[in-house]
Amino acid sequence: MEETLIIEAPQAATANAPLGDGGVWDNKVGTNITGSQAVLEALIVEGVDTVFGYPGGAIMPIYDALYDYHDKLKHILVRHEQGGIHAGQGYARSSGRVGVVFATSGPGATNLVTGLADAMIDSTPLVCITGQVFAHLLGTDAFQEVDVINITTPVTKWNCQVTDASEIPNALAKAFFIARTGRPGPVLVDITKNAQLQKFDYEGYKPCNHIRSYRPKPIVRKSYVEEAAKLINEAKKPFVIFGQGVILGEAEQEFKAFIEKGGLPSAWTILGLSALPTDHPLNVGMLGMHGNYGPNVLTNECDVLIAVGMRFDDRVTGRLDKYAKQAKVIHLDIDPAEIDKNVKTTVPVWGDCKETLPMLTALIDKKEHTEWHNQFKALSAKENEIVIHKELNPTEGEMTMGEVLNVLNELTNGDAIIVTDVGQHQMVACRYAKFNQSKSNITSGGAGTMGFGLPAAIGAKFGAPERTVVAIIGDGGIQMTIQELGTIMQTGVNVKILILNNRFLGMVRQWQQLFHDKRYSFVDIQSPDYVAVAKAYRIKGSSVNDRKDLKSALAEMLNHDGSYLLEVMVAKEDNVFPMVPQGRGVSDIVLTKDQV
């Protein structure tokens, strides 16, 4: 946090070289090394190639050691610790690996809290390493001392404090194991400065693969799988809803095989988005508050609801006492605590869906369910006619967010990673962006963290450097973490920044319009000249206000060799529809504002 203390490690020359070869570093075994070196040794053996961080007083010994490791570990100097952790999340989500974040004690560590909460609710694997004051100063209100362990306990899957260097290898081994296994989540290891400096007899780093009190996966019970298969085989109107569990379990193929054999219409939560290609014939769209019409309405008409790796968030279910009451519910989840948490389950299929889906597929009958599919098609046609067509293909008036997405889809053809922030643009992007492959949609789902988009996009690009990364962000969210343009400038990371500027905090404005008598209370937000801001950060940019320039502007952004900021001025008072108004059931979804 203190500018004067910064020692910046030189940038690593090679990007994402495959690491994880512990042998290179085994020559340290049996020697005396510092706790800080042990931290970096651990990262190397765990195969970490990129760390997002920000130095400061209490983590200086680790940064000092990093100076000698810069050819093995790439460190991305962010502009704010929140940016660091969101970048770590973006990295984890695009790569499927553990994101690693460094921060110093006190304010450095507290700046991680929003990202931890976000990663916790969105099950993102992270290992955050924070510096802490000397052990003998703990509890003395020392400079930059904050009780990080207790502050972060509710928002971490696990955390621990290390006060002796010899504990570091074990603590980090546990941290990585816990973060990436079972239902993944963020882990924080708080290391006191004395432990970082202390030399100890290094016995090597052994990755952890078992903790006796920790069961990453529940035991799969065959009898429940059989019961579930029986329900599916008897169903006339089976409906699959899937979430991020499919992506985290890397079970995309298993999932596809399952729904294809059963002829099962499938809808996704926003975190499940991209697990199934957009144009797959069984993909019937998005669930929830701003989801598609058919999946919401027919949730209350299906006879068997099959939930795969999702947690029945209130934005998905609407009013619980009006949610799928007629249906038998099969719930596949790796986290036993999710069963019955919000929706009562008829048959729980505990386990990793990578294991349980093939077991189910083997037992279900091959079916088509043509009539049932036609119901989805009919409702989709209605939504298309009333909402989608004019949202995606307006010919006059202000530009819509939907048409920007429509043109973007044409140009990316669904191959880009789309990172979004939070708000109207997020809902529009999730509704309309096209995806061909998994791990392509990165958004703050459960927490709804504005400011997530820009730093997460930076991390996503480091996690998947071969892919195009487009960050779609509103004019509110961009201003929350706009300082990360500095990270883009310094690292040269190629991120396409697409600002959909409606000169409002649009989602809140929409609610104020619909539910608060149009009393627009503090949603009228002004923006700086984004192109000038980008220019100041040596990032190329442009702004379009006219429909006829949209396609060429998007093409220029995508084709530019390097980062690019494009601002698109969109309709000021557009609303996202359909919508399940808060407090209503999913089948009470409305298509226009007159129906609210």
Partner 1 sequence: MIQSQNNTQYAPTDTQADPVKQEFTITVYTENQVGLLNRIAIIFSRRKINIESLNTSPSEAEGIHRFTIVINEYEDVVRKLCRQIEKQVEVLKTYFNTNDEIVWQELALYKVPTDIIAEKVMVERLLHKHGARAVVIRKDYTIFETTGHREETEGLIDALAPYGLIEFVRSARVAIIKASSGFHDKLKEFEAFQPAEELAENEYLGKREGVFSM
Residues labelled as active-site residues:
81, 143-144, 193, 507
Rounded distance, CA 554 to CA 412, Å? 10
The count of residues interacting with partner 1 (CB under 8 A) is 34
Indicate the residue among 260 and 335 with the shorter CB distance to partner 1: 335
Q: Are strands 199-201 and 32-34 parallel, antiparallel or unpaired?
A: antiparallel
218 makes contact with partner 1 (CB under 8 A): yes
4 makes contact with partner 1 (CB under 8 A): no
| Binders of partner 1 in range 348-377 (CB under 8 A) | 348, 350
Q: Closest approach of Cβ 565 to partner 1, in Å? A: 40
Q: Closest approach of Cβ 348 to partner 1, in Å? A: 6
154 makes contact with partner 1 (CB under 8 A): yes
161 makes contact with partner 1 (CB under 8 A): yes
- H or E stretch at 426: helix 424-432
Report the candidate in 158, 159, 176 with the shortest Cα–Cα distance to residue 98: 176
Alpha carbon 18 to chain centroid distance?
Answer: 24
Tell me which of 226, 260, 335, 355 binds partner 1, using CB under 8 A. Answer: 335
Tell me which of 178, 388, 469, 498 binds partner 1, using CB under 8 A. Answer: 178
Tell me which of 15, 137, 138, 211 binds partner 1, using CB under 8 A. Answer: 211
Rounded distance, CA 138 to CA 191, Å? 12
556 makes contact with partner 1 (CB under 8 A): no
Indicate the residue among 212 and 548 with the shorter CB distance to partner 1: 212
Phi and psi, residue 379, nearest 5° = -70, -35
Alpha carbon 92 to chain centroid distance?
Answer: 8
Tell me which of 7, 14, 199, 215 binds partner 1, using CB under 8 A. Answer: 215
322 makes contact with partner 1 (CB under 8 A): no
Q: Closest approach of Cβ 116 to partner 1, in Å? A: 14
Helix axis angle for 113-121 and 81-95, nearest 10°, is 20
212 makes contact with partner 1 (CB under 8 A): yes
Interface stretch with partner 1, choices 89-97, 116-124, 221-229, 542-550 (CB under 8 A): 221-229
Interface stretch with partner 1, choices 120-128, 264-272, 332-340, 514-522 (CB under 8 A): 332-340
Rounded distance, CA 75 to CA 490, Å? 12
| Binders of partner 1 in range 249-308 (CB under 8 A) | none
Q: Which residue has the tokens 């400065």?
A: 193
151 makes contact with partner 1 (CB under 8 A): no
Q: Closest approach of Cβ 521 to partner 1, in Å? A: 29
CA atoms within 13 A on the CB side of 411: 19
157 makes contact with partner 1 (CB under 8 A): yes
Contacts (Cβ under 8 Å, ≥6 apart) of 123: 183, 184, 185, 244, 248
Tell me which of 3, 141, 219, 466 binds partner 1, using CB under 8 A. Answer: 219
- The sheet with strand 99-103 has its strands ordered as 74-77, 50-53, 99-103, 126-132, 186-192, 158-162
Interface stretch with partner 1, choices 159-167, 274-282, 451-459, 519-527 (CB under 8 A): 159-167
Helix axis angle for 506-515 and 424-432, nearest 10°, is 100
Burial 145-174 (b: 16+ CB within 10 A, else e): bbebbebbeebbbbbbbbbebebbbebbbb
Rounded distance, CA 409 to CA 385, Å? 20
Rounded distance, CA 447 to CA 430, Å? 16
Q: Closest approach of Cβ 44 to partner 1, in Å? A: 21
Tell me which of 148, 160, 418, 497 binds partner 1, using CB under 8 A. Answer: 160
Residue ranges in contact with partner 1 by CB under 8 A: 149-150, 153-154, 157-161, 178, 209-215, 218-219, 221-222, 224, 335-337, 339-341, 344-348, 350
